Chains A and B, each alone.
Chain A
């Protein structure tokens, strides 16, 4: 299949889907080579950006998805008239953060970190399909183990779990703040991290090619 044709085909497939399409699914559907699909996706992304089209191609939730641009958000919100899923509550976000970093994790573990009952937060997260039950722990009582879902990644626009700020980084940030108060590092193994809080620079990684297969 010529590259241009593959690109428009991919655009059509992506347009028809409201959730991210994985590379393997796109390969299977188009019958093209993974490398060709990856290259066409990258070309599509570039062309959408170059022409400043109304949608952009993004990689999140283990796949590719067309989404609108941030600058159009006010108009789309107007169109939707506030009819959207609500944001997650703070309790849910805290619980979700613990699940995301510690998964698979049990409810007692979550509650011992948060210091409060987290049953309703877990129920909300399960209902919104941000987390799922991964099985049971081997400890006494065999409590359920929770982990995050693909929907979780899509909801936050994360490519994969590695896209989360790593706990080590969190620790380093905390530690950098502590250092201002007292010079005793709590996590000495992390001391080699730069102490300064990095400015939010999205493209720090060396020119990443989008075609990473996963």
Chain B
């Protein structure tokens, strides 16, 4: 699998390498190098270029690559040293060991490719017991999330959130309506919010709970919706599609009454002026 020639300075096409030996084999085949006569200087240069590229792309360069870079440079240095006695060729080729390693590794790499082919062929022949239960086989795309799934997620995060052992600041009250406004704003701006992240940002259990309540409220008002790509996967909070120009005086709609009820329960801390007025209107 060699990269096409030309435009070498622009092209950043990094295949995934299993390790330094894999990278060396790639360079050898790409540059059509004779494996028994490796131009160490050239290959070292190329090897280091790849390491640099990996670093630029923020890929993790494991220690093994650095070890290989060091031994390449050691080989290079030994090749540069003049032979102690020019007539006698006692010194083994310093590349010998590397060549042996490459050949051995390549052998198994090919064996792995052979296994891959067998795997592919075998996967087309099914034995019994592969068909999943009907209940599991339902359509996957963006199933709506149940409340339980939301709560499970909350529970998972809560169990991770340490209840910090600090002085309790009594003045720190979280307001559900504030949170609702904030959530709505953020969801609209971001388009999609990770539910886990939303909760993990919370500084305390009480804030996480208020966040959840605010979210539930917005869900009930169908201002937001939650979706999940996969079972047990991340839950995403998104703004609900706008049904035309939404009337702001939502309080008049009958569907909103339970919301109002929750709202008044929530209001105990700091009643929002608007809500009071709305309720007042409805009552009056």
Interface residues of A (CB under 8 A from B): 15, 17-19, 56, 58, 65-70, 73, 76, 79-81, 83-84, 87-88, 90-91, 93-94, 96-98, 100-101, 113-117, 155-158, 164-165, 167, 170-171, 173-174, 178, 181-182, 184, 186
Q: Select which of B109, B119, B129, B131 is within 8 A of A156 by beta carbon.
A: B119
Known contacts A174-B106, A174-B110: A114-B121 contact under CB 8 Å? no
- The answer to whether B125 and A181 have CB atoms under 8 Å apart is no
What residues of chain A lie closer than 8 Å to B107, measured between beta carbons?
167, 170-171, 174
Residue of B nearest to A73 (CB): B124
Known contacts A83-B132, A167-B107, A170-B110: A68-B19 contact under CB 8 Å? no
Identify which of residues 147-199 in chain B touch chain A, using a CB-to-CB cut-off of 8 Å: none
- The answer to whether A114 and B131 have CB atoms under 8 Å apart is no
- The answer to whether A58 and B105 have CB atoms under 8 Å apart is no
What residues of chain B lie closer than 8 Å to A18, measured between beta carbons?
127-129
What residues of chain A lie closer than 8 Å to B123, measured between beta carbons?
73, 84, 87
What residues of chain A lie closer than 8 Å to B209, measured between beta carbons?
none
CA distance A182 to B36 in the complex (A): 8
How many residue pairs bridge A and B at CB < 8 Å?
A: 132
- The answer to whether B128 and A156 have CB atoms under 8 Å apart is no
- The answer to whether B131 and A115 have CB atoms under 8 Å apart is no
Q: Does B101 contact A (CB under 8 A)?
A: yes
Identify which of residues 1-41 in chain B touch chain A, using a CB-to-CB cut-off of 8 Å: 16, 18-22, 34-37
Residue of A nearest to B64 (CB): A116
Q: Does B122 contact A (CB under 8 A)?
A: yes
- The answer to whether A79 and B131 have CB atoms under 8 Å apart is yes
- The answer to whether B125 and A69 have CB atoms under 8 Å apart is yes
Question: Can you list 17 A-B pairs, Cβ within 8 angstroms, ordered by A?
Answer: A17-B128, A65-B127, A73-B123, A91-B18, A93-B112, A94-B109, A94-B112, A96-B115, A97-B112, A100-B111, A114-B108, A115-B64, A157-B121, A158-B118, A167-B111, A174-B106, A181-B34
Question: 10 other contacts beyond A80-B130, A81-B132, A83-B137, with CB at 8 A cut-off?
Answer: A73-B124, A93-B116, A97-B108, A97-B112, A115-B22, A115-B101, A116-B21, A117-B62, A181-B34, A186-B36
What residues of chain A lie closer than 8 Å to B130, measured between beta carbons?
76, 80, 84
CA distance A114 to B68 in the complex (A): 12
Q: Which 10 interchain pairs have the tightest Cβ spacing?
A: A116-B19, A97-B111, A73-B124, A157-B122, A18-B129, A67-B125, A93-B112, A115-B21, A156-B118, A18-B128
Residue of A nearest to B34 (CB): A181
- The answer to whether B127 and A66 have CB atoms under 8 Å apart is yes
**Nearest CB on B from A169, distance (A):** 10
Q: Select which of B19, B122, B137 is within 8 A of A114 by beta carbon.
A: B19
Residue of B20, B22, B125 contacting most chain A CB atoms (<10 Å) = B125
Q: Does B89 contact A (CB under 8 A)?
A: no
**Nearest CB on B from A31, distance (A):** 24
CA distance A37 to B151 in the complex (A): 58
Q: Does B281 contact A (CB under 8 A)?
A: no
- The answer to whether A113 and B108 have CB atoms under 8 Å apart is yes
What residues of chain A lie closer than 8 Å to B34, measured between beta carbons?
181-182
CA distance A68 to B18 in the complex (A): 34
Q: Does B114 contact A (CB under 8 A)?
A: yes
Known contacts A81-B137, A93-B116, A155-B119: A67-B127 contact under CB 8 Å? yes
Residue of B nearest to A114 (CB): B19
**Nearest CB on A from B92, distance (A):** 15
- The answer to whether B21 and A156 have CB atoms under 8 Å apart is no
- The answer to whether B18 and A116 have CB atoms under 8 Å apart is yes
What residues of chain B lie closer than 8 Å to A67, measured between beta carbons?
125-127
Q: Does B103 contact A (CB under 8 A)?
A: yes
CA distance A106 to B49 in the complex (A): 33
- The answer to whether A113 and B125 have CB atoms under 8 Å apart is no
- The answer to whether B105 and A114 have CB atoms under 8 Å apart is yes
Q: Does B104 contact A (CB under 8 A)?
A: yes
What residues of chain A lie closer than 8 Å to B109, measured between beta carbons?
94, 97
- The answer to whether B126 and A76 have CB atoms under 8 Å apart is yes
- The answer to whether A94 and B18 have CB atoms under 8 Å apart is yes
What residues of chain A lie closer than 8 Å to B103, measured between beta carbons?
174, 186
What residues of chain B lie closer than 8 Å to A76, measured between beta carbons?
126, 130
Residue of B35, B101, B108, B114 contacting most chain A CB atoms (<10 Å) = B108
What residues of chain B lie closer than 8 Å to A56, measured between beta carbons?
125
Residue of B nearest to A14 (CB): B128
Q: Does B136 contact A (CB under 8 A)?
A: yes
**Nearest CB on A from B91, distance (A):** 19
CA distance A73 to B120 in the complex (A): 11
CA distance A94 to B62 in the complex (A): 18
